[in-house]
Amino acid sequence: MKHYYLMSLLLLAGRLGAAQGLVADTTATVKVYGYIDGYFGLDFPAAAGTVRPAFIYSHNRQNEFTVNQALVGLRYDDGVVHGALGLQAGTYPEANYAAEPAVFQHIYEAYAGFRPFKKAWLDLGIFGSHIGYESAISKDNWTLTHSLAAEGSPYYEAGAKLRYEVSPQVTVTGLVLNGWQNIRDNNRGKAVGTQVQWRPSARWLFNSSTFLGNEQPTDSVRRQRFFHDFYLTYAASSRLSVLALFDVGTQQARRAARGADTWHTGALLVRYRFSPLPRNRWTAALRAEYYYAKNGVVVRDAGPRASAPDYFVRGGSLNVDYAPARRLLVRLEGKVLNARNPLFDSPNQAPARTYGNLTGTVALSL
């Protein structure tokens, strides 16, 4: 019976597409893409080992020449059907996919989709997160290292999503997911998500994304999690851009009498290009941010003293980019973080409240 319903749904989608004149384009494209992000970083104070704090998942090694992400993939699109397969290696997937089965740990994206009707796409598989303004591919972000907001929310998702272009200014997406950055589902339930993007003009972008689901293993007490991500970008000129973000989440506490654990994070970024596009080679970005989690929810295992009742970190960074060629990007960033409780490793083995790092990368994209 389940197979009957699935076949009926696919046939209905096919008939809707045919009724709206959705015919595959004979100029179908197959795009090969690739990316290599080599980096070196130093921490202050420097820990005895080479691993950065536990809540840092991207560019997470220090005092070591290594590769954050080496990526190669294929994307197909004929206007009605599309799909992608990307494979990756490096310290980014090593840290972010550690909880996934080995067979999935090197998959950056793997999805297939089609247009069930005009101006809509239905995709199923593994794809980038609908939460946040940052991509897992560092070169596409305003800053070299990821924000605290990005490190505390999903980078990837597995499930099904339906994206619909309401108008040239508004796009709406609905998702059914295995969970909060889960390829292999950790319980019998499914999570749901939404995303709305509004571009009132070429200068403005407003984004609202949500997540709702139970992220506890099957043998644990069910605890519902709700999360909302909001950010906006504004291009004041061809050189100056501003981005503001505020995320808030809540999850049922371990004990019902304690109500809910909450967390919230905010960031403000300013980016300046020293010359107008496309001839600009130099760019700088300044970021201020904070992250607060009541009872350490979501980041409970981050750092040597993360078992403290509350988790509060704030900081800032300055990023300078140089693009000597169209496909090459050289970046240097300095960052300082300060925590309310001692969270960071230090050479004398006494956890510190302040942490800084300097990171440089050379990224090549195809």
Supply the pLDDT for residue 21. 53
Q: Is residue 349 part of a domain?
A: yes
Query: What CATH number does residue 80 fall under?
Result: 2.40.160.10
Cα(15)–Cα(117) distance, integer angstroms: 9
Decide the pairing of beta strands 156-165 and 170-177. antiparallel
Q: Cα angle at 326 between 323 and 330, to 5 degrees?
A: 25
Does the residue 103 lie in any domain? Answer: yes
Reading the block at residue 174, the tokens are: 């609905």
Residue 181's domain comprises 26-365
| Predicted local confidence at residue 311, as pLDDT | 83
Cis status of the peptide bond prior to 53, with omega within 30 of 0: no
Which pTM does this prediction carry? 0.87
In a domain, 62, yes or no: yes
Residue 61 lies in a domain: yes
Tell me the three-class secondary structure of the chain, residue by residue: CHHHHHHHHHHHHHHHHHHCCCCCCCCCEEEEEEEEEEEEEEEECCCCCCECCCCCCCCCECCCCEEEEEEEEEEEECCCEEEEEEEEECHHHHHHCCCCCHHHCCEEEEEEEECCCCCEEEEEEEEECCCCCCCCCHHHCCCCCCCHHHHCCCCEEEEEEEEEECCCCEEEEEEEECCCCCCCCCCCCCEEEEEEEEEEECCEEEEEEEEEEECCCCCCCCCEEEEEEEEEEEECCCCEEEEEEEEEEEEECCCHHHCEEEEEEEEEEEEEECCCCCCCCEEEEEEEEEEEEECCCCCCCCCCCCCCCEEEEEEEEEEEEEEEECCEEEEEEEEEEEECCCCECCCCCCCECEEEEEEEEEEEEC
Residue 19 lies in a domain: no
Give me the pLDDT at residue 74, please. 97
Q: Token digits for 65?
A: 């020449």
In tens digits, the chain (366 residues) has pLDDT values of 434 433 443 444 455 455 455 655 557 999 999 999 999 999 988 777 888 888 889 999 999 999 999 999 999 999 999 999 999 999 999 999 999 999 999 999 999 999 999 999 999 999 999 999 999 999 999 999 999 999 999 999 999 999 999 999 999 999 999 999 999 988 888 999 999 999 999 999 999 999 999 887 665 677 789 999 999 999 999 999 999 999 999 988 766 556 788 999 999 999 999 998 888 899 999 999 999 988 777 765 444 444 556 789 999 999 999 999 999 999 999 999 999 888 787 766 678 889 999 999 999 999
- Residue 1 located in a structural domain: no
What is the number of structural domains in the chain?
Answer: 1
Judge whether 123 lies within some domain.
Answer: yes
Residue 11 lies in a domain: no
Burial of 176 (0-12, 13-18, 19+ CB in 10 A): middle
173-179, long-range: CB < 8 A, 24+ apart: 173/130, 175/130, 177/211, 177/213, 179/213, 179/215
Integer-rounded Cα radius of gyration of the chain: 21
Strand partners, 161: 123, 175
